[in-house]
Amino acid sequence: MVQSMEDASPTKWHLAHTTWFFERFVLAETPGYEQLDRAWDYLFNSYYQGAGPMHARPRRGVLSRPSLAQVFAYRAAVETRMREQLQAGALDARLLDVVELGLQHEQQHQELLLTDIKHAFSCNPLTPAYREDLPRVHGEGSALRWISRQESIVEIGHPAWPDQAAFAYDNESPRHRVLVPAHALAHRPVTNAEYRDFIADGGYRTATLWLSAGWETVRALGWQRPLYWSEDDAAVFTLGGWRDLDPDAPVCHLSYYEADAFARWAEARLPTEFEWEQAAASLAVDGNFVDAGHLHPHAPRTASTGLQQMFGDVWEWTSSAYTAYPGYRPWPGTLGEYNGKFMDAQWILRGGSCVTAADHVRASYRNFFPSDARWQFAGVRLAKDSA
């Protein structure tokens, strides 16, 4: 039930909330269904105003009851009822779509479980490891190269689901055309060694590199390096405990402010989400995901002349604000609150990370976080304008 900050949630709450989603939005819609405990509607609703009031997010860590054993029993009971409905073919097409959404929703929370556990353990003076047996993976470093593209009109986004067979969130649609100017993308994400150079060059002490709100945040919170780095910039706290910093691995746990400041220091910029998607659309969704079991970014194990690590390892900040595509329509009903109402003061990230499920992301996937968020596995890929 540990809650290390307002943005994180206790593991027990994640387990209960993902269960509640299926009970509230699937089972409760079936004839004659009676909720297992109506009070849990209040405890485990996250932000769905259409589903009723909810316990305040910053105070999820005080929920000593229900106990973990009760939450596991709740999960087992809901899973049993869901299995019965599915095996009996009792769910209509609309509810089957909600089941699919619930599975995708649970994958998101599986990722949040790991990021929240990591933050909680980092706050413990003992800095315990989540997994003592995590492999140490070392890849091959490479000098940064630029891959150029000419100006073009490209198709961006995903056909609206559930009209199309393949799942995508409503914020990924409708598919539309965008003019993408000539530009160049770095062939790989920024590395720890490159970010350490930024620090050594006074990156956190040079106001002109930072957005105004970013500089105020740096000063107010005393940022001097990425989250989880040691004070000598030689080690990093991981889900496997403290480890030596791999200079060739992608830097991670950066806020948007830090990614933007680094790009300015490097005489480059962050890519737009359209530049990123255009580059990723022709690539296989393959990389260092949670399925690999490493739970930390690492350098590529093989050399390549093309784009590397577009998927997995670290979410990549873009310079695109999280807003609606032309013609966007949220899903109907309460589930329409899933994405659209968060289109305010947030930035798009692309590509997934080392704690994302491999079958959860795609080229059109739009993750989003506010400018100061650091506890996610977020890094940066540079871009620049072409003459």
**How many other C-beta atoms are found inside a 10 Å radius of the C-beta of residue 267?**
8
pLDDT reported for residue 251: 98
Mean pLDDT lowest for which of 89-98, 158-167, 294-303?
158-167
Whole-angstrom Cα distance, residue 384 to residue 239? 34
What is the Cα 287 distance to its own chain's centre? 15
pLDDT reported for residue 146: 96
| 271 and 318 Cβ atoms separated by less than 8 Å | yes
User: pTM score, two decimals?
Assistant: 0.97
pLDDT tens digits for range 269-287: 999 999 999 999 999 999 9
Matching CATH number, 146-385, of 3.90.1580.10, 3.30.43.10, 3.40.50.300, 3.40.640.10: 3.90.1580.10
| 277 and 156 Cβ atoms separated by less than 8 Å | yes
What is the Cα 349 distance to its own chain's centre? 7
| Confidence category of residue 76, pLDDT binned at 50, 70, 90 | very high
CATH 3.90.1580.10 residue ranges in the chain?
Answer: 146-385
Compute CA distances 22 → 74, 103, 181, whole Å. Answer: 11, 9, 44
Q: What is the DSSP string of 3-54?
A: --STT---HHHHHHHHHHHHHHHTGGGSTT---S-THHHHHH--S-GGG---
- Tokens 């929703």 identify what position? 105
Q: Is residue 304 over pLDDT 90?
A: no
Q: What residues contact 344, with CB distance under 8 A and at least 6 apart?
A: 322
pLDDT tens digits for range 79-138: 999 999 999 999 999 999 999 999 999 999 999 999 999 999 999 999 999 999 999 998
pLDDT reported for residue 387: 61
Q: Is residue 375 over pLDDT 80?
A: yes
Percentage above 70 pLDDT, the chain = 100
| Confidence category of residue 333, pLDDT binned at 50, 70, 90 | very high
